[in-house]
Structure formats: structure tokens, C-alpha cells
Structure 1
Amino acid sequence: MNFQPNSKETFMLIKELVSIPSPSGNTKQVIDFCEQYLQGLGLDMKRNRKGGLLVTLPGRRTDQHRMLTAHVDTLGAMVKEIKPNGRLKLSMIGGFRWNSVEGEYCQIETETGKNYSGTILMKQTSVHVYKDAGDAKRNEDNIEVRIDERTESADETRKLGIQVGDFVSFDPRVQVTEGGYIKSRHLDDKASTAILLRLIRYLKENEVTLPYTTHFLISNNEEIGYGGNASISPETVEYLAVDMGALGEGQASDEYTVSICAKDSSGPYHYGLRKHLIQLARENNIDYKVDIYPYYGSDASAAIRSGYDIVHGLVGPGIEASHAFERTHETSLINTEKLLYAYVLSSITTIE
């Protein structure tokens, strides 16, 4: 394998991606960034109607295609209500828990594009005032946004231009440590997006000829269930989602290997493709773990639910504390990059 991943460059790209607010439903800015990153390479590149970015690299065989996806949409929120005290009640975008964003800095984007900073807090935050500051339920009734503006009424907040339906994004707080870790919100799935963008760039710049025409979809609605369930060519045989491996008690995955998913809440992934990915990992000395994610769905499972007759799989770097304070290690990113490179150069073994 001639491909040599560069973790520093991948880290830099991840840092840029996570720093662009992109909750599901408001992803144009980050898709623009992805498109600009690939500009000037002479790629066949277009947007689909949902706003995702589709890149196609021609291969020797055009009768059978491959597709790989990663998603740039993230968890976030919308303004549900402007409260009488001028603070904001939120409605979730994506499947996080309120306790995971308590105390987080955030950004409110108005319809006109103006941004305001704020902090997500319990209304019972002050222990000097509220007896139940520690025991009160963390839910949408008790969580509110304190805006960094002088506003003490709903009318004053509305005069700022803030209204119901405005998007709220969370501060990523991205850091890279000397020990090779990157910790940030939204590594799900901007770590995988960075890997795919760098893979596309490498293949094009090095004039690598792929065995099959291969599509890369940077999807933008995965967190709400339908990011990668369209823009799939009729020739597509294999569909591989690149998304985080979920870590925790009882899980096989870790922060140092590439995770190959056998099953999630949608059911088993294609057995033949899974075995093919494992074989590629073994042949190329790539550290991997096979795992099951009990509360998980991917762009690949969304495509299956939409009725596509495809072979589907799921791989990705192991991400600690998913949908909260996420972290992974450079070795997990490197192993994922190596497996994807080996995969796009391999034969389709599941269907002849």
C-alpha cells in the first residue's frame, strides 16, 4: 500500500470542519467549504436537491459502481420559544441528551444571518438561589439559553432579530493534544468527512485509477434520518457509510482502531461486505474491531430503508462519548484512512 495518511493534515481539516456551525437543516456553509476544498482538481462534482455534495471518480468498470458517504450535519437546536424573561427555550435537532449540552456556549443565527452568542443553562443553575439546582430534571422545560445581550423581556429579544425557528449551534471546543488525541463536539461525523475529503484529493492528485466508478456523497441530513437515502446511481452495487464507531461499556471498539459494524438498530449489515472489509484489514496490517451499535443508524441503513437494492456496510473511527464530549486518537483515523484506501482499490467480491 503506497498510501500514507498524514494525521496532522487530517487534524487540521477536522478542526476547520468542526468550527463551521452546521446543525441539520442549516449546512450550506460547511458544504460550501467542502466544495472549495476540492476545487481546482477537475472533479465531477455537483449538489443534490437536498444540498449534499456528490463527487464522482470514474473507474475502469462503469457497469458496477461504488458509493461512500460521510455526513457534515451535526446535532444542534432551534429556538422553540422566546420566554417572558427574554431567554430562549430550545427544540432539539438530533438525538442528544439535555445534560450533554448544559453549560455549553452556543451561537444563535438569525434569519438575516446575524449571530449572537449565548450559554445553555438550567434556569435553576444558581445554587445560591435554587434548592433543586442539582436535582431538577434536565429537560426542555428547565433548559434555556442566556443570550449575551441586554435583554430581560421577550420584546427586547425579538428586537435583536431573534425569532422562533432560528438555528442554535454548540461551541465545538476543539483541541488536539500532544498525545495524539483530538477532542471536540461533532467528530460525528466531521472526522469521517475529513477522511473522505482527503481520500478524494489524494486519488485525484495522484491519478489513481479505481477499478469501479466510485461516488462520494457528503450528506447533510444524517442526524435526522435521511442524509444518504438518495442520489444513488442505478449502477451502484456497494454502499459504504463512513461514520463513527460508538464506544462504551460492552463495546468492542476503541479509539485506536477502525470500527467495522456488524449490526446496529436497523439490523445486520451485509455479511459478505463485512467479511471483505475484515480481509482487507488483515491483508494490509490495519488494526480493526468488529462491533455492534445498539442505538444507531447510518446513511447506509437509510438507503436500505428507502428500497435500494444494494450491499451496505459501515466503518469509521472509534469515537468516545458520542453525541456529547467526543474524542478519538490519530491511530483510529489512520487505520480508517488505510482501510478506505484499500477498499476503493479492491474488487467487488459480494456480487459478481
Structure 2
Amino acid sequence: MSFDYSYFYELAKDILTTPSPSGYTHIVIDKIKNYADELGLKSFKTNKGNLIVEFEGEDSNKTLALSAHVDTLGLMVRSINSDGTLAITSIGGNQMMTLQGEYCKVHTRDQKTYTGTILSTSPSSHVYEDCARKGQTADELMIRLDEVVHSKDDALALGIQNGDFISIDPKTTITDSGFIKSRHIDDKISVSIIFTVFKYLLENNKKPNYNIKFIISTYEEIGHGAAHLPSSIDRMIAVDMGCIGKDLSCTEYDVSICAKDSSGPYDYQMVSELIEISKKYNLGYAVDVYPFYGSDASAALRAGHDIQAALIGPGVHASHGVERTHIDGCTNTMKLLHAYLTEIKF
């Protein structure tokens, strides 16, 4: 089995470097719709901005939903300070201490974009005695704009206002040793994984066993990404980042199979099937319990959908910070997903 890794890397880098904090996802969704069009797959946008990509299966009597979210962590302008710097509020669960010194972009309501830097409110060790202690919370951070501003009125004159979205520079890097380093690997890498599997199926004239509806969600980071599903979904696999650290067994080289997260256990039968496939094909895999985690499948179940659901994904180190995964973990996820789509009957 040979996936098109050039395609995978191209797609991953394109969407990783496209700003899309939760609530500001229309640009990246349009890009992904173009990728679906290029593969000849039908897709449509929902009212809330999710994209549903359809892949016809051998048996149209049942439908398997896949999900991956394209919204990311980000910031928003809370207010404009008297000196023209910007006070911020967090979108999603940022590790605020990792944001000091990061470059960012401010996206105004009139379609302008300004660059800036996220800094502590005591940004100079030569000036502020508390410099080393500041920057742990949103209240202790600010945006320094790369524009000549001296006052609140100067910032307002640029068209910046309260409620403008701020995206964080992902610093996307792909190393010769196979590591993918970037903010927002969670969960844009999974979108790239699923499209790469779809491309493999199409190029090899293969169909999944059942109809697939791939839900690319846009509000996962704030809890309701796939709360609404298309009709007639029987099963759902959320493809999202696998957790690494503490007593977890997953590494960046594995596909993680989540048995339970903060929303509770995932479907016993589906989890067991995913484990058996991983054993059958000698995949690098891990089964883990995520202590502080919820997925698109969690949102769908909480919304009352009568589905069986599971959660898998490549191991991602330092989640919600400066993240990293490896091509081996992505490949193991592709192989597990491919086998599940083409071999499992339900």
C-alpha cells in the first residue's frame, strides 16, 4: 500500500498555514472544498459552516461518518489599550504561557489583515521587575501591532475593533526526519490523512463498504463542532490527535485508539474492531484513556444522535501548544482507516 505522500504534505502545509481559529474558518473551508472538487467528490456546506464530503460506498443502506476539525485555537481582540496595543481573550484552550513572542495576524471585519507580536504586558527585562513572572494568562498578554500606533484612536483608524479575530503563526515545518512541527496539527493533520486515504481509494478504483460522509467541522475547539450530523448516520469515527504523556502509551509514531475520554467510553465493538485491525496488519498503535479531552463524536453523542462512535488519530506531542507528530503516526492512521473502511461490516 503506497499513499501519495507528496499530496499529503502539500495539503497539510496548505491548510496548516491558513488561519482558521474557531469562528473564522470560511477561508480554509473554501480551500478544502476545492480539494474535494479536485478528487471528484461531492461536498456541501452546512448553515454553521461545516463541510460535508460524500464518498459513495458499495452498500448504500448504511452510512459511516468520519470527522476531523479544521478550526483551531486562536485569540480575539477584547479591547484596545490606550497606547494602541490590543488586549486579548482566548478562543479555545490555549496554553497561554507558550504564546509569548509568537507572531500573529489580526483579521478585521473589513477584510484587512495586520501583523503583530504577542507579548507580556511587562515585555522588557531591562524595564519591568516582574518581567519573568508575567505572561501566564490572557490578562498578562497583549498584541503589539506592526503599525505606527500611539493611541487607541490610531488602532481604531486602522479598522481594528473589539471582536476581531487573531490567528497565531503556526510556524509549520516538515523535517527531513519525518517530523511535522506546527501549531494546529490538532486537527488539520487528520483532514490531510483522510483526503490522502480517499485519493488512494479513488486511484485504485476501490470503494468503501458503506457510504461515507466526511464532516469537516468548524467549532470543535469550543465544543459543538459535529453536534449536528447528517441524517441516517449509523457509525462515526472521529479522527483527531492522539494524546502523549504521563501514563499514556501513545508516541508520535503510533495511531492512537481512544477507549475513553472525558465524555466517557467509546463504543465497545468499534474500539475492539480497531484494535483487531491494528494487530492484523502489525500497525504501530496504542490504546489509551484521555483524561482531559472531548471530540466531534462526543459532541454528536451529547446532542442525542443514535450512533456508535469511536476516536482515533496520530500521536501528537505537546497538544494545544507547539505541537509535533511524525509521518509514521500519520501512516499508521491512514492504514487503520483504510482497512476499517474497506473490511469492516456492520
Q: Does 1:250 align with 2:247?
A: yes
Give the aligned residue type for 2:225: G
Secondary structure of the structure 2 residue equivalent to 1:38: helix
Structure-to-structure mapping, 1:1-352, within 5 angstroms: 3-136=1-134, 138-234=136-232, 236-349=233-346
CA distance in 2, matches of 1:166, 1:82: 11
TM-score normalised by the chain length of structure 1: 0.95
Query: What's the % identity of the aligned pairs?
Result: 44
CA distance in 1, matches of 2:262, 2:54: 30
Per-residue CA deviations over 1:296-333 (Å, capped at 9, x if unaligned) read: 00000100000011100000000000000000111001
Cα shift at 1:137: 5.4
CA distance in 2, matches of 1:63, 1:282: 29
CA distance in 2, matches of 1:110, 1:270: 43
Cα shift at 1:141: 1.9
CA distance in 1, matches of 2:343, 2:265: 22
Q: Closer, same or farther in 2 for the Cα pair 1:187/1:40, shift >3 Å? A: closer
CA distance in 1, matches of 2:86, 2:340: 47
Q: Which ranges in structure 2 are unaligned for 5 or more consecutive residues?
A: none
Cα shift at 1:70: 0.5
Give the aligned residue type for 2:140: N
Give the aligned residue type for 2:111: G
Runs of 4+, deviation exceeding 6 Å: none
Cα shift at 1:210: 2.0
Secondary structure of the structure 1 residue equivalent to 2:270: helix
CA distance in 1, matches of 2:155, 2:135: 26
CA distance in 1, matches of 2:106, 2:225: 24
TM-score normalised by the chain length of structure 2: 0.97
Give the aligned residue type for 2:242: G
Do the aligned partners of 1:38 and 1:201 also contact (CA within 8 Å) in 2?
no
CA distance in 2, matches of 1:210, 1:302: 25
Do the aligned partners of 2:255 and 2:329 also contact (CA within 8 Å) in 1?
yes
Per-residue CA deviations over 1:254-299 (Å, capped at 9, x if unaligned) read: 1001000011110111111000001111112211000111010000
CA distance in 2, matches of 1:119, 1:249: 32
Do the aligned partners of 1:239 and 1:310 also contact (CA within 8 Å) in 2?
yes
Per-residue CA deviations over 1:184-240 (Å, capped at 9, x if unaligned) read: 000000110101122223323433122111111111111011111213322x21100
Secondary structure of the structure 1 residue equivalent to 2:209: strand
